[in-house]
């Protein structure tokens, strides 16, 4: 019973550590909460942009493709933000399901790699 009482005192406590000594605890928590969005971007980088694997002989080509993929992610994020803002202005709650990349487009992209 004593162990259970001890556990009750720490129930719901979530330690969050950061090596960046210049940010506050609140800033560290906000950065942590944005992590799922970063993970979603990384998933898009690998799936939608077909960025993995990059099989080139010269490192310069890998660097160039990574740069272009990064630019595409930035563009995608800006478009998404603009769509969300416009949806808010127009009071649109959600986008229809089933909207995605056409398989023919992906096949065409793969031929040029």
pLDDT at residue 22, rounded to an integer: 92
Q: Tell me which residues of the chain have a pLDDT lower than 50.
A: 105-113
Give residue 96's pLDDT.
66
Half-sphere exposure (Cβ direction) of 111: Cα atoms closer than 13 Å: 6
What is the model's pTM?
0.51
Tokens of 3: 């162990």
The count of other CB atoms within 10 Å of the CB of residue 66 is 13
Hey, what are 83's tokens? 């769509």
86-95 pLDDT tens trace: 988 988 887 7
Q: How far apart are CA 94 and CA 47, in angstroms?
A: 23
Centre a 10 Å sphere on the Cβ of residue 51 and count the other Cβ atoms it contains.
Answer: 18
């Amino acid at each position: 019973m004593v162990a259970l009482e001890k556990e009750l005192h720490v129930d719901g406590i979530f330690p969050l550590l950061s090596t960046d000594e210049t940010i506050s605890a609140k800033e560290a928590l906000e950065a942590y909460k944005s992590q799922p969005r970063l993970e979603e971007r990384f998933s898009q980088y690998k799936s939608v942009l077909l960025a993995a694997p990059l099989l080139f002989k010269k490192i310069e080509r890998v660097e160039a493709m990574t740069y272009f993929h990064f630019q595409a992610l930035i563009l995608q994020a800006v478009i998404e933000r603009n769509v969300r803002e416009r949806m808010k202005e127009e009071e649109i709650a959600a986008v229809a399901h089933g909207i995605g990349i056409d398989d023919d487009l992906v096949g065409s992209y793969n031929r040029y790699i």
